[in-house]
Amino acid sequence: MGKISLEVNGRKVEKEAPDNTLLSTFLREHLQLTGTHIGCDTSQCGACVVHVDGNSLKSCTALAADVNGSKVTTIEGLETNGNMHPMQEAFKKLHGLQCGFCTPGMVMSAIDLLQKNKKPSDTEIRDWLEGNICRCTGYQNIVAAVKEAATKM
């Protein structure tokens, strides 16, 4: 056991957790932030992507202890005064989701892309989201949503 201290969605948290606790498990089971999804056990699906100190990370690939002291943003932390983030608005407007299981990870990854590349091409969007698997949409509307968000962010 060890103490995990993080800033999560702007709130300081401190909890004891077993040393082998994954960040994804810590968020979901210790903080009840279940918007971060677990879609695989092979680090392939990307449903678990969050931001750690501003960069996207598959939260199933890091131990909570490894990111001790970091600032973490999950999908729950994107809203401002009850309003969705422009990326969430764009996914909603352009039907960038169907079942929604992949969506938290897609949105978090896509925001990180636009932080690094304000006007990505279709190819750059598809390349960046390569680590995020969607079984429903065929990706076309996801790419369209990211491009729409790029005009708003």
How far apart are CB 12 and ligand FES at their closest, in Å? 25
97 binds ligand FES (CB under 6 A): yes
Indicate which single residue of 31, 64, 72, 134 sits in contact with ligand FES (rule: CB under 6 A).
Answer: 134
Determine contact, residues 68/17, Cβ cutoff 8 Å.
Answer: no
Give the closest residue to 104 by CA, choosing from 53, 33, 12, 31.
33
Nearer to ligand FES, 70 or 103 (CB): 103
Interface with ligand FES, residue 43, by CB under 6 A: yes
**CB of 136 closer than 8 Å to CB of 98:** yes
Q: Is 60 in the site for ligand FES (CB under 6 A)?
A: yes
- Phi/psi region, residue 138 (left: phi>0; alpha: psi -120 to 50; beta: rest), is left
**By CB under 6 A, is residue 38 in contact with ligand FES?**
yes
The answer to whether 36 and 45 are in contact (CB under 8 A) is: no
Q: How far is the CB of 6 from ligand FES (least distance, A)?
A: 18
What's the closest the beta carbon of residue 142 comes to ligand FES, in angstroms?
8
For residue 101, state whether it binds ligand FES (rule: CB under 6 A).
Answer: yes
Distance of CA 66 to the CA centre of its chain: 18
- Closest by Cα among 129, 99, 101, 93 to 113: 129
Tell me the C-alpha to C-alpha distance, in Å, between residue 12 and each of 8, 19, 20, 55, 72. 6, 20, 21, 19, 10
Which of 39, 71, 86, 112 binds ligand FES (CB under 6 A)? It is 39
Q: Tell the smallest beta-carbon distance from residue 109 to ligand FES (Å).
A: 11
CB of 57 to ligand FES, least distance (A): 10
Interface contacts to ligand FES, rule CB under 6 A: 38-40, 43-48, 58, 60, 97-103, 134-137
